[in-house]
Structure 1
Amino acid sequence: MKKQFAVIGLGRFGGSICQSLSEQGMEVLAIDLNEDKVNEFANIATHAVVADTTEENTLKSLGIRNFDHVIVAIGDNIQSSILTTLMLVEAGVKHITVKAQNDYHEKVLNKIGAHKVVHPERDMGIRIAHNIVSKNVLDYLELSDEYSIVELMAGQSVHGKSLIDLNIRAKYGCNIMAIKRDEEINVSPDATQDLRKGDIIIVIGADEDINRMEEDLFDDED
């Protein structure tokens, strides 16, 4: 059976989730207070309705507790976001993901029972900042406050050296998850794997260890 999703708030973030889920063939209920937004997604989502999700009876009439996953993507109205999340928790929705505006908002959402809280703007800002600061960082995914997955571009300083030569795990406590060369991806590469300039190395580890490794091994001079 297809999973059923409900997306509450059809701004840039909620709208992109709604569209992506629909493109993947999922059943999606799109909800917003703004009729124009709802009309915009009428032909994208399975169903699109104008509704005030801070009203308990409205959520009941939508059968919200039957959905596998509800995403609360309400824009600037923090009060509506919190009230909606509280209603969803009380209704017993299996999985609730909520967009937070700031750290205080996140604390409240976690306290009232949101299963996952995301900061799309902050997280994108972090990724862009890492890309700007280092020419070697191609992409960055924060796993927690201290751990990340990073894509690094191999330069001349590691060209021709094997993972044994570099001894990355022992020296830096980081793990090489995969190496991408042209169109080929080698997942969990063998220690004898050599690196070439231009390879994309996907690393997981503590931020401070990844930074140290990048400075030592990947920070080629122009």
Structure 2
Amino acid sequence: MVVIGLGRFGGALARELARRGHEILGVDADPRRVQALADDLTNCVVADTTDEEALRQLDVPGFERAVVGIGTNLEASILTTSLLVDFGIPKIWAKALNQQQARILERVGAHHVVRPEHDMGMRVAHLVTGRMLDFIEFDDDYAIVKTTVPREADGLPLGQSRLRSKYDVTVVGVKRPGEGFTYATAETVVHRGDVMIVAGKTAAVERVADLD
């Protein structure tokens, strides 16, 4: 995999991918960033990623996956992503700082556009305003949350608690203190202090997480 742009986002991503055993080519125009990651990645080079010939010399067209972590330089982000699209790379992720940049990158041809700061802000907003322990939102208004068992479900099997029928959510996992997560069934008895993984429409899981 090639990671282009080794700032805070791209650098952290490249390091984590390398830690997981992936062979990573890291590319950045800033020699300091390249030097900082040289010992962590399979290969790390200084190059102008808006230069088609420079990318070809690095054999970037031969990669199956690419991540464009360039954020602040909009022109470089767009030109680099456009070149990757022209190369026919099957899977391209690109970082955007705002919705406008995200739309442009999608129109250029990026297969996945991420907004790390925006997404993290949304996630933290949910965590600091309620009883959620974690929150992940997907497309089509669907989310998964980690939250504690509400009072109305305490001591009951999930089937009897009617969380699913009453709130239109699904409890997919339960964790008791000192134990690991287990898959939840209608017969699973939950107690106050247990942690649940709840899936459903965003508003529905928010409602369950706000129950006392």
TM-score (norm 2): 0.95
- Once residues 209 and 132 of structure 2 are traced to their aligned partners in structure 1, the CA distance between those partners, rounded to angstroms, is 9
Counterpart of 1:54 in structure 2 is 50
Counterpart of 1:172 in structure 2 is 167
The offset of 1:65, in angstroms, is 1.5
Question: Is residue 214 of structure 1 aligned with residue 209 of structure 2?
Answer: yes
Counterpart of 1:140 in structure 2 is 135
- Once residues 199 and 180 of structure 2 are traced to their aligned partners in structure 1, the CA distance between those partners, rounded to angstroms, is 20
Deviation sequence 1:134-168 (CA, Å, 0-9, x none): 0x200011112511111111244432122112222
The residue correspondences of 1:83-162 to structure 2 (distance < 5 A) are 83-134=79-130, 136-144=131-139, 146-162=141-157
- Once residues 58 and 172 of structure 2 are traced to their aligned partners in structure 1, the CA distance between those partners, rounded to angstroms, is 43
CA RMSD of aligned residues (A): 1.3
Q: Which amino acid aligns with 2:191?
A: R
Q: Which amino acid aligns with 2:158?
A: L
Structure 1 residue runs of 5 or longer lacking an equivalent are none
Match of 1:80, SS state, is helix
Structure 2 residue runs of 5 or longer lacking an equivalent are none
Deviation sequence 1:162-199 (CA, Å, 0-9, x none): 21122222222211111112322112x12011111111
Does structure 2 conserve the Cα–Cα contact (< 8 Å) formed by 1:78 and 1:101? no
Does structure 2 conserve the Cα–Cα contact (< 8 Å) formed by 1:31 and 1:49? yes
The offset of 1:204, in angstroms, is 1.1
The offset of 1:66, in angstroms, is 1.2
Counterpart of 1:198 in structure 2 is 193
- Once residues 190 and 46 of structure 1 are traced to their aligned partners in structure 2, the CA distance between those partners, rounded to angstroms, is 45
Which consecutive aligned stretches of 4+ in structure 1 deviate over 2 angstroms post-superposition? 155-158, 211-215
Q: Percent of aligned positions with the same letter in both sequences? A: 38
Q: Which amino acid aligns with 1:57?
A: E
Question: Residue 156 and residue 174 in structure 1: after superposition, are their counterparts in 2 closer, same or farther (change >3 A)?
Answer: closer
Question: Residue 153 and residue 165 in structure 1: after superposition, are their counterparts in 2 closer, same or farther (change >3 A)?
Answer: same
Question: Is residue 66 of structure 1 aligned with residue 85 of structure 2?
Answer: no
Counterpart of 2:15 in structure 1 is 19
Q: Which amino acid aligns with 1:116?
A: H
Match of 1:177, SS state, is strand
TM-score (norm 1): 0.91
Deviation sequence 1:39-83 (CA, Å, 0-9, x none): 111100000100111111111111112112111001311111111
- Once residues 81 and 209 of structure 1 are traced to their aligned partners in structure 2, the CA distance between those partners, rounded to angstroms, is 37
- Once residues 78 and 149 of structure 1 are traced to their aligned partners in structure 2, the CA distance between those partners, rounded to angstroms, is 32
Does structure 2 conserve the Cα–Cα contact (< 8 Å) formed by 1:155 and 1:198? no
The residue correspondences of 1:175-190 to structure 2 (distance < 5 A) are 175-181=170-176, 182-187=178-183, 189-190=184-185
- Once residues 75 and 52 of structure 2 are traced to their aligned partners in structure 1, the CA distance between those partners, rounded to angstroms, is 15
Q: Which amino acid aligns with 1:87?
A: L
Q: How many residues align?
A: 211
